[in-house]
Structure 1
């Protein structure tokens, strides 16, 4: 059985210090130990965050029959709406208590990745939805590139190493809605324990209590950023690339305390991905001399499809 603890040990750093070696070390050490860090001064304007939150709430307030117009049957949840009660954590039987909407990268006609990256879907009922979330997508993309540069410095590889690996990557921005809980939920929680598939995740909206990570000691640690701060965590793709040096940590969103149960929870994670044809194979300097990598090489796209099947989105 695990216990819940709170701690200030997860790094909380300013991205304005991104060129400082001390920043690289604090960030990287936190990823090694916890798989998580908290970042402020990340460059995503607060007025854009506020506008995006308002648009997301407006969208999720639409009737279910309207939202289902934007659900793509057989699309694996890659774009548009995924209704309540579908996504299920790997290995779990109880579905998560959430619904969400996915926005991906806009690609020009003729781009080779259009074969595997679907076009976006835009709800016509929410004025300014497309413009707001394309702007936020780009802001997430820029912040993610800065964080990856710091990670490259920590790993002692070329600081620009990641730029090509994520160029036109299959990154997805998720608008999340966890409805109020006015009835018993049984074995279901807002998001069951899971690890993220992608390279790194940048999360806005985690200041509402509920997000927890699982430590090496088997204890659940509350992750509690201040309003507007980004929570960053390592995904399975980067864990494979670093041969396990950087941890993809199990995390969950637990149900609210009774005094908050009548409140909905909203958040916006950005799942930053490698480009679809990038081969994920362990970096040489992350594999001890005389040992073999922990995982075999696999393309980013093939790995994504494998994992989507496990969580019942494909």
Structure 2
């Protein structure tokens, strides 16, 4: 088997064979909870610029980085090493990260649940480059959801209003070199809270998903791919037709423990007041409704953030 368990789907199909694109992505999501997208149409130079800015920030002294910590329970700015802990885990994850969210105009109804962004003054291009990256992945996520809608036999634009001004977050992740005596792993086994996650930077090994047969499968795609997975909110909406699969980032082998790992997951969220109510087309005699009571996206988010010690 190759170093990645999932065959990529080419984004070129989005324009030339959308039905085939939707079928290939949807089938991968239904089987694994994950899909890999190749041949994306994002500007690689601009992606590289945003990641370079992130690396420059993480290289700053800890006391400077911590000036940007503690904003809205970690929803914005810097989250120091040793804070986030996977649900049920004993040891914290071996990572630090930065969060950027959506900019909202004054008086917007979601401002109570979505804080303003902060920007590191030490990296002048950070705001410009990272904001572009956020918006590019936000747009790409909308296109992936079009395919998911068609796969679920919904109108292609079904998800468009559900994610308008959604509480989506771009996470710039740094996994430092791992000391010999480290406890824990880079990211403990977990499911994502949100609707879908778009991840860049998975070429550096370690990402694995827990398959339905109990086997851990590697996801190490070639460069130039986006790894996408279903989050808990979409699993709930689809009554588990599309599963939110448990995944982790394992520590590297000894010969690579000195190499840091950088990745950039974009957690695409529904709008805060969107009512997550089981889709009728995902309910059947063989798959009865697991969630007869609905919940708003923000209620669901806050419940889960408390579980992983970020709220």
TM-score (norm 2): 0.96
Q: Which runs of 4+ in 1 moved over 3 A?
A: 5-9, 289-292
**Does 2:271 align with 1:275?**
yes
For each residue in 1:41-77, what CA deviation from the matched residue of structure 2 results, as whole angstroms up to 9, or x when unmatched? 222211011111110100000000000000026x221
| SS of equivalent residue, structure 2 residue 160 | helix
Show the counterpart of 1:226: 222
Equivalent residue, structure 2, for 1:206: 202
Q: Which runs of 5+ in 2 are unaligned?
A: none
Give the paired residue count.
308
Alignment partner of 1:183 is 2:180: yes
1:183 CA displacement: 2.9
Structure 1 position 10, deviation (Å): 2.0
Q: Please, what is the CA RMSD of the aligned residues?
A: 1.4
Question: CA–CA distance in 2 between the matches of 1:184 and 1:290?
Answer: 49
**Gap regions ≥5 residues in structure 1:** none
Q: Distance in 2 between matches of 1:9 and 1:269?
A: 19
Task: Quote the Cα distance in structure 2 between the aligned partners of 1:192 and 1:170.
Answer: 24
**Partner residue of 1:85?**
82
**Distance in 1 (alpha carbons) for counterparts of 2:197 and 2:46:** 19
TM-score normalised over the length of structure 1? 0.95
Q: What is the CA–CA distance in structure 2 between the aligned matches of 1:278 and 1:293, rounded to whole Å?
A: 19
| Distance in structure 1 (CA, Å) of the matches to 2:66 and 2:219 | 32
Equivalence map 1:1-314=2 (5 Å) = 10-18=6-14, 19-72=17-70, 75-186=72-183, 188-289=184-285, 292-295=288-291, 296-314=293-311
For residue 267 of structure 1, report the CA deviation from its aligned partner: 0.4
Q: Secondary structure at the match of 1:163?
A: coil
- Compared CA separation, residues 182 and 290, structure 1 to 2 (3 A): closer
User: What per-residue deviation string (whole Å, max 9, x for no partner) do you get for residues 57-110 of structure 1?
Assistant: 00000000000000026x221000000001000111111000000000011111
Structure 1: how far apart are the matches of 2:42 and 2:249? 24
Q: Residues 119 and 127 of structure 2 are in contact (CA less than 8 Å); yes or no, is this contact kept in structure 1?
A: yes
